[in-house]
Chains A and B, each alone.
Chain A
């Protein structure tokens, strides 16, 4: 079990704080709308109708605040209704007074409060839909106040509301994104801690017993000792990859589009494969590095399938400055002369063609040396800065 500390716990509902703040704004804007209506009584022709609509506005606000503050509810219905009710209330202003009474400079009783529908839509669906809803709400206001043709310099309702939709939508997506990253980081930390714990456990326990058994060659069944040795080697290899200081991290691409060939090759090391490489990373552009590693994989695969069960393979990686040299040698029986040509003549494009193709297509060279009893040896050379390509 890995315990998580309080300092960085990802939230299951990362936008909940945003929803709750929005509801505080809803209540504040409701009080403002009531004050505006009270101050507009000289223009209101039908006060009873106007205050009835305000009652609806208060009732809806109360419901929306409750519904949207709760975590994990299906908010879509509430937000759609929020938009419908808002637009309806904007047009309802006509019941209180005709359009010309509200025209220019004057404000509708709903005015600032209409932002709530835009904020809700932007939090829920992001900035694009937030801006669309803002456009609808703003145009509704402008129709009601007969301001559709009023220049934006005089009536800024439209640009202001669209900006609200854009800003809140962007904010919501950023918050979600940050939360997702935090989630990932926490998971990674938990996984790393778990790996370290496992590695320690294996190193101090099972590994010691295995090496003890494998060392007591004479005292125990030789087959058992060999099995213990094989398991010991594969466990040690596994630990290399589990260890955070091991190769797992450096195997990640370094910088943009580079591959550490040395780290990638270490992954091939095992009971029958020895890998020799410089201590420092050997970086190649990703496409070149990956082809080189793939060619090495094929050459090693060839050793397994053709060189017999006792053959061992040796990989040597050298950084020669302007080029990278990779040798894959085995101590198997080798390939009799003419054998490769024979395979080619039969139309079988063997692994050797594939290896050569990979390397030569990128401007490198691939040479195979073999003779009976001498094993096989591939020497692959890949230029560091391929022609027509600065690196």
Chain B
């Protein structure tokens, strides 16, 4: 937290959650850690406009909102404020939605029961452009790449994204609960290289998803102004 004080501009955060008590508690924790909570939203509809108005560095995203899912809200927020990074906070019961949110552009995932210190650390890393992984998310991403590799690509389609052997190796270790530093030691890589591999696995997934959405929009003959990812999320 000391290095945060050296930063002239504090990291700005927006909290999207429909439980006021939770929003207040999280905002207090983030304020105490030196972040600035610039906006809160309690629904998909208000998340986009508020992100556009405040351009937060990091958006903390709940998966269950009254008027839609965290995936919808993630797409809306990133369309309104492309520079923001979305960190999904999810109760374990919403596990299956997390992969969808990640494909829609979220760069991290944390369980809601994580401690305040873990949350602060995750927000810091998200703002820094790093991917915040839990072992559970790594398992989902691994599974998703394997699933895509078993579905034959249609003739007119882009080749499916694949993981390099090294990326697979790194992701498996993340899924087995090893921290980036432990992985770096075990594989004889630098900490930064490990982080890059992990980020790459998400970036390829998101890129493939964006291409897929665009193709879907073109195929369905949607107008240009309707191809925003916010609505095209089959």
Chain A interface residues (CB < 8 Å from chain B) = 203-204, 208-209, 211-212, 214-218, 229, 232-233, 236-237, 239-240, 243, 245-246, 266, 269, 274-280, 312, 314, 316-321, 327, 329, 331, 377
Contact = CB atoms under 8 A, between A and B. Distances in A.
Interface in B132-147: 134-140, 142-144, 146-147
Closest 9 CB pairs of A and B: A278-B143, A276-B139, A314-B177, A240-B93, A276-B175, A215-B25, A233-B113, A316-B175, A208-B21
B113 A229 contact: yes
Given A209-B21, A331-B177, A236 B91 contact: yes
Given A208-B22, A218-B32, A237-B92, 8 more contacts: A215-B28, A215-B116, A236-B112, A240-B91, A240-B95, A276-B135, A276-B142, A312-B177
9 contacts: A204-B19, A208-B21, A211-B113, A216-B25, A236-B92, A236-B93, A269-B92, A277-B139, A314-B135
A314 B174 CA distance: 10
Contact of B147 (A217, A218, A245, A280): A280
A212 B26 CA distance: 9
B22 A321 contact: no
A84 to B, nearest CB: 64
A280 B135 CA distance: 17
Contacts of A317: 139
Contact of B139 (A217, A218, A278): A278
* Residue in A211, A240, A246, A317 whose Cβ sees the most chain B Cβ within 10 Å: A211
A236 B113 contact: yes
Contacts of B26: 215
B167 interface: no
* Residue in B93, B113, B136, B139 whose Cβ sees the most chain A Cβ within 10 Å: B113
Nearest to B179: A331
Nearest to B20: A208
B195 interface: no
A280 B142 CA distance: 12
A239 B21 CA distance: 19
B172 interface: yes
A217 B135 contact: no
Given A237-B92, A276-B136, A319 B143 contact: yes
Given A239-B93, A274-B135, A232 B176 contact: no
B42 interface: no
Contacts of B150: 321
Nearest to B138: A276
B93 A246 contact: yes
* Residue in B21, B92, B112 whose Cβ sees the most chain A Cβ within 10 Å: B92
A278 B140 CA distance: 5
Contacts of A218: 32
A314 B142 CA distance: 15
A318 B146 contact: yes
A279 B140 contact: yes
Contacts of B96: 279
A211 B112 contact: yes
B2 to A, nearest CB: 17
B232 interface: no
Nearest to A233: B113
Contact of B22 (A211, A229, A236, A239): A211
Interface string B18-42: 0101100110110010000000000
A327 B176 contact: yes
A314 B150 CA distance: 26
B25 A274 contact: no
Interface in B78-113: 91-93, 95-96, 99, 112-113
Nearest to B117: A217
Given A215-B29, A269-B92, A316-B172, A278 B142 contact: yes
A319 B146 CA distance: 8
* Residue in A215, A236, A240, A377 whose Cβ sees the most chain B Cβ within 10 Å: A215
Contacts of B95: 240, 266
Nearest to B137: A276
Given A239-B93, A316-B135, A232 B140 contact: no
Contacts of B19: 204, 208
A40 B189 CA distance: 109
Nearest to B143: A278
Nearest to A241: B93
A280 B143 contact: yes
Nearest to B113: A233
Contacts of B116: 215, 217
A278 B175 CA distance: 11
